[in-house]
Amino acid sequence: MKMKKMLVVLPVSTLFIGALAGCGGESDKVSQSASPAASTPSSPPVTLTVEVFDRGIQGQPDLNNNTWTRYINDNFGKQNNAIVKFVAVPRSQEIDKLNVLMAAGEAPDVSFTYDSATVSRYAKVNGIVQLNDLLAKHGKELTNYLGKTVLSYGLFDGKQMAIPAKRTSLAWNGMFIRKDWLDKLGMPVPTTRDELYNTLVAFRDKNPGGVDGVIPWGLAATGLNYNYGNLGESFWGKESEEQFVTAPYSWLRPGNKDAMRFLNKLYNEKLISPDFALDKTAKQADADLTNGKIGFFSANWDYPLRQNISQPLKANVPTANYVPIDVFQNYEGKYKKIAYNENGVNVIIPKSSKNAELAIKYLNWMADPKNLFFLQYGQEGVNHKMVNGIPQVINQTGDNMQTSYLNLDYTLVVNGVELGDPEKNIKALAASAPGYEEVAEQSYKISTTDTYTSFFFDTPNESNIKFGKTLGDMNKLMTDKLIVCKPPEFDALYDKLVAEYLAAGAQAVTDENVKIYKAMQASKK
């Protein structure tokens, strides 16, 4: 799928890390038990520790003892005289928790983070293992699978310090509206920002779902699944590429103030979840969504199709029908929206690890198509069924339950469906929610139209390493404060918060980004 791209710098949150310097296809059949070992090992097994996200999903299995972890131990552990032990880290605290473990020299042998700035900091203080030699010796299949482009996102100062996962789906945010509510009101699907506003007002005033506490636009605290879609982009004015990619966050972009003012207007007119800023885990937003109270929301492109949302919603409100929409048009007449780069999560091996070689062997084993397929889809007839040559997950509870989409937290070499064929991957995405295939296809198409991606700086930004965590926290607080303040207070508060933000390090980050960007452009000449 082709996408027209621009470049932008994404927000990253970093932590100060001290005291580290010392420190095949779907048809493949896979057995769930190991083949007999060629010989009985004479030494006791080695324990390989691997990080896994704890997402707090209701009814989730033991994250260290389930169908998937047993498969890993039977098919990798036994063959390598190892026991793979999983260390759960809360998803909402992944950077904070990883930082504590790294500083204490207790991080899992296979650790990971989505924040490349954090990896950069670890690399600089010699807190993680350089992987070039290990990859060359034990990572042939892994290297071939990821390819040069994906691996380049793990290079720092020319050295391979992280193993980025391959992201097979570049779609990011999606926006969804209750079509059944629109039909009841006799209103069309909105196609512009003004039409969406009028629709939200109608949801508030006429409550077409007849629910207690109708919420026209469902939202949670900044930084979680629920977001503002590409609302901001629809207000942004023209910028040069240099301006666009070097600004941390969006506070100084032309038009951004108007975007925030629009959200403030919606909140003060009771069109947004009233207590969104207190919903730090998005559990309230999920509850409102699955209980049929929300008319419109923006989140991951496939959010309403996910098992933890679609099943309770269908049980609670069988008539609910969310359809994807695209309403935020910019000055060019385009619906600019961010998409993912080709890389996903960054896997790192802490310097404190005594099992770096085994860790690379583990990732290399995972890159084998038959192993990757099982970890994503499991056993045919039990964990998935084949429909027109495409596997469809059979949603389950207990040991067989997947706590993230296609076991994302156990398949660290890939983010997204991997069937070895881009066309099959897209079909599998659509088939991931039986009965919602058309919705999935529409949402994916919208989310990959008029997109831009983040700009990858090939040199660590020292100011971002120093101030990134502070700026990330400030960004969330600023957004929430500006949405909930009284309209007469908005302009003065916006100017005050942005000035504080620049003084707290954003100006230094911007200046250094400009310097790195210019050096990168000069090197191309």
- Coil, strand or helix: which one is 393? strand
Say if CB 160 and CB 154 are below 8 A apart.
yes
E strand residue ranges, 450-490: 451-454
Average pLDDT over all residues of the chain: 89
3 state SS of 186: coil
Q: What is the pLDDT of residue 30?
A: 39
Nearest to 517 by CA among 241, 323, 249, 286: 241
* SS3 state of residue 184: helix
The pLDDT of residue 40 is 59
Res 490 pLDDT > 50: yes
| pLDDT at site 31 | 40
1-57 per-position pLDDT tens digit: 333 333 333 333 333 334 344 443 333 333 444 444 445 567 999 999 999 999 988
Through-space distance between the first and last CA atoms of the chain, rounded to whole angstroms? 30
pLDDT of residue 405: 83
pLDDT cut 90: percent of the chain above it: 74
Task: With a cut of 90, say whether residue 254 has pLDDT above it.
Answer: yes
- How much is the average pLDDT of 423-452? 86
Q: How much is the pLDDT for 41?
A: 65
Tokens of 309: 């949302």
What is the four-CA torsion angle of 168, 174, 180, 185, rounded to 10 degrees?
-160
Confidence of residue 244 (pLDDT cuts 50, 70, 90): very high
Q: Residue 164, SS3?
A: strand
pLDDT at residue 169 in the model: 87
Q: 116: which strand partners?
A: none
Give 524 or 200, the one with higher predicted confidence: 200
Bigger pLDDT: 87 or 405? 87
Question: pLDDT of 360-382, one tens digit each?
Answer: 999 999 999 999 999 999 999 99
pLDDT greater than 90 at residue 434: no
Which one is predicted more confidently, 3 or 245?
Answer: 245
Residue 14, pLDDT score: 37
Bridge-based pairing of strands 163-167 and 414-415 is parallel
Sheet with 337-338, edge to edge strand ranges? 7-8, 451-454, 337-338
The secondary structure of residue 380, as a DSSP letter, is B
Residue 110 reports pLDDT greater than 90: yes
The stretch 244-257 carries a mean pLDDT of: 94
Please state the rounded mean pLDDT for residues 203-221. 97
More confident residue, 248 or 235: 235
Distance CA 10, CA 339 (A): 11
Lowest mean pLDDT among 10-24, 141-155, 297-311, 409-423: 10-24
Q: What is the pLDDT of residue 134?
A: 98
472 contacts: CB under 8 Å, gap ≥ 6: 11, 12, 13, 14
